[in-house]
Structure 1
Amino acid sequence: MLAIIIPYFKLTFFEATLRSLEVQTDKRFKVYIVNDASPEDPTGLLEKYKGKFDFVYHRFEDNLGGISLVQQWERCIAITGDEEWIMILGDDDVLGETVVASWYENYEIFNEKSNVVRFASKVITEETGAVSHTYMHPVWEAATDSFYRKLEYLTRSSLSEYVFSKASYLKYGFYNYPSGWYSDDKAWIDFAGNKPIFSINESVVSIRNSFLNISSRKDNLEVKNKAEMVFYRFMILNKLNFYKKEQRLKLIRKYEDSIKKSKNLTIREWLLLTYFYLKFFDLYSFKKFIKRLVKNLLRYE
């Protein structure tokens, strides 16, 4: 069976999420609603949905999501039962009515061939009411290729539209980046292992973008920049061999830029970058890098 975990904190759009679960055409799922010490009590609303679908409600008295989103996800997963597949659904996101049905319809296709399954997605911009086009994906795609498409702004990706095997989660876990930035990106690369991501494009998960989202906040750029730097360091140290030469150079440059946004480059970091620019040598890219290096050195004379 499929476990759908909702780390609950905000009531504002929560009923839309619950309603999307109520109207699922296939009810073979169990929902775990986990209250992260929210000041907004959802129990009155949950009474309305008793018997509409299978769910359990648990409240933690200490807020963990404000300290570490990843640790909050982990304790949510810890209270699930024997379900072998997990979706972590935002408390403001919405499932299309056939999401669960299409997951089961495709089960025999992806089972044992993939550890990560994703649905097509749309973005709802709450302030304007605009709904994006549907983001669809190759049916089978390497996780590293999927991330690179996101890097190139050819697609989007977030937590809610993915289903992953509990076995892969237990093997790798989520990496605890600051505020959870890039934790899901790394998870899909890790969880996939040597198997491709399987995409179900006939059903859609709608992701809500509002003033309540962490991604919409402007006061956490320092935290985001730090997470970006650590993530791209992981990518260049561990995943460059999965990419073509020009893609490798772009990832190296992303790491360089992320350090500059987070802090000044140290000699150690310049040496590391020099090593990678030489290893994947391109004359134009290397000349531009040397100019940046010289400019940096002159600044400290």
Structure 2
Amino acid sequence: MLTIIIPYYKITFFKETLLSLEQQTCKKFSLFIGDDASLENPENLIRETLKTTQFTYKRYEENYGSKNLVNQWKRCIGDSDAGEWFMILGDDDLISYNLVEEFYEKLPEINTNKCSVVKFSQCWINEKGYKIRDFTQYDQLISPIKNWEKKYIHGHQSSLSEHIFRKSSYLKYGFRDFPLAWGTDDIAVLEFSEGKEILFIHGAKVYVRISSENISGKTDNMKEKETAVQQLEEYLLKNHYRKLPENYVAQKVQQHLHYAFINKPSDLNINLLKLYWHLKDYRKILTLPKTYFHLYSQ
């Protein structure tokens, strides 16, 4: 059974999100709405909109999202009693009318290929619902690293909302906690896949809202986003460097070393010896004492 989870906070575009669920051609899903102590009570809107869709609504008295968005996701997943598969849908994002139906049609292939992550075609929309980026298109089966490269090397867009995860993989790995949960979804896709291919569904769509009201569209949180990217890269260089393209690893090592030089030595949170050994950059290994001397004597 598929569980769709909405960590609710903003009401501005919420009716459109609810309508996209109400219009599903297949109702074989449970819906959980976790209200993160919002000042905008959505109960009346939910009941007015969801006429044929069963749902569970829970209002939390303590707001988590402003302090730690990942903890709000975890709380909602735990309270939703999610089944084997779950999706976390943003409270301003939309899904096409056939998304649930397409998921179940592809489920035999998903299980045959032992996939733990399903990805849908998505595009960005603005406040008025107009498309501002084209729909993503990939092969039906894509490796976790190729999927990662699409975003971090080739600049493709992706979001949490366009994915369905197998719950057992989530329970095994959990969500990594970065500021604003920026990049948390990307690590989840990489790790939850467990080396198995991701099944991409082109026949159903997810519309991801980019607006001044959400984290992706805001510009007053750039410092937090930069910190999140720094932490995400450190995590990758510590835990997944063997899977990543060597030129990417070399580039990021150099960037993090440069960052520590212009800021402070404690900002360097990667193992240079291990990474240079992996890259077979023996010259830099030999000069490591000099590198650390200059780093800590500045």
TM-score, normalised with respect to structure 2: 0.88
- Compute the displacement of 1:131 (Å): 3.0
1:180 & 1:270 partners in 2: Cα distance? 20
Q: Equivalent residue of 1:11, what SS?
A: coil
More deviation in 115-124 or 154-163?
154-163
Percent identity for Structure 1 against Structure 2: 34
Runs (5+) with no aligned partner, structure 1: none
Runs (5+) with no aligned partner, structure 2: none
Given residue 42 of structure 1, which amino acid in structure 2 is its aligned partner?
P
> Which residue of 2 is the match for residue 117 of structure 1?
118
Counterparts in 2 of 1:127-138, with a 5 A limit?
129-138=130-139
- Compute the displacement of 1:73 (Å): 0.2
Given residue 145 of structure 2, which amino acid in structure 1 is its aligned partner?
T
Counterparts in 2 of 1:219-230, with a 5 A limit?
219-230=220-231
> Quick check: 1:127–1:210 contact (8 Å CA) kept in 2?
no
Given residue 123 of structure 2, which amino acid in structure 1 is its aligned partner?
K
Q: 1:38 and 2:38 equivalent?
A: yes
> Quick check: 1:116–1:192 contact (8 Å CA) kept in 2?
yes
> Which residue of 1 is the match for residue 263 of structure 2?
264
- Compute the displacement of 1:172 (Å): 1.0
RMSD: 2.9
> Which residue of 2 is the match for residue 60 of structure 1?
60
Q: Can you list the C-alpha shifts for 1:55-113, whole angstroms capped at 9, x where unaligned?
A: 11110011111111000000100112351100000000000111111100000001261
- Compute the displacement of 1:249 (Å): 2.2
1:277 & 1:211 partners in 2: Cα distance? 42
Counterparts in 2 of 1:2-17, with a 5 A limit?
2-17=2-17
Q: Equivalent residue of 2:46, what SS?
A: helix
Given residue 280 of structure 1, which amino acid in structure 2 is its aligned partner?
L
> Which residue of 2 is the match for residue 276 of structure 1?
275
> Which residue of 1 is the match for residue 80 of structure 2?
80
> Quick check: 1:84–1:165 contact (8 Å CA) kept in 2?
yes
1:271 & 1:114 partners in 2: Cα distance? 31
Given residue 81 of structure 2, which amino acid in structure 1 is its aligned partner?
G
Seen in structure 2, the aligned counterparts of structure 1 residues 246 and 200 have a Cα distance that, compared at 3 Å, is: same
> Which residue of 2 is the match for residue 104 of structure 1?
104
Q: Can you list the C-alpha shifts for 1:252-299, whole angstroms capped at 9, x where unaligned?
A: 345446x459x725178398446534641569x97xx99xx69x9499
More deviation in 185-194 or 147-156?
147-156
Counting matched residue pairs gives: 293
TM-score, normalised with respect to structure 1: 0.87
Seen in structure 2, the aligned counterparts of structure 1 residues 114 and 150 have a Cα distance that, compared at 3 Å, is: same
Q: Equivalent residue of 2:268, what SS?
A: helix
Q: Equivalent residue of 2:87, what SS?
A: strand
1:271 & 1:105 partners in 2: Cα distance? 44
Q: Equivalent residue of 1:215, what SS?
A: coil
Given residue 71 of structure 2, which amino acid in structure 1 is its aligned partner?
Q
> Quick check: 2:242–2:278 contact (8 Å CA) kept in 1?
no
1:265 & 1:137 partners in 2: Cα distance? 41
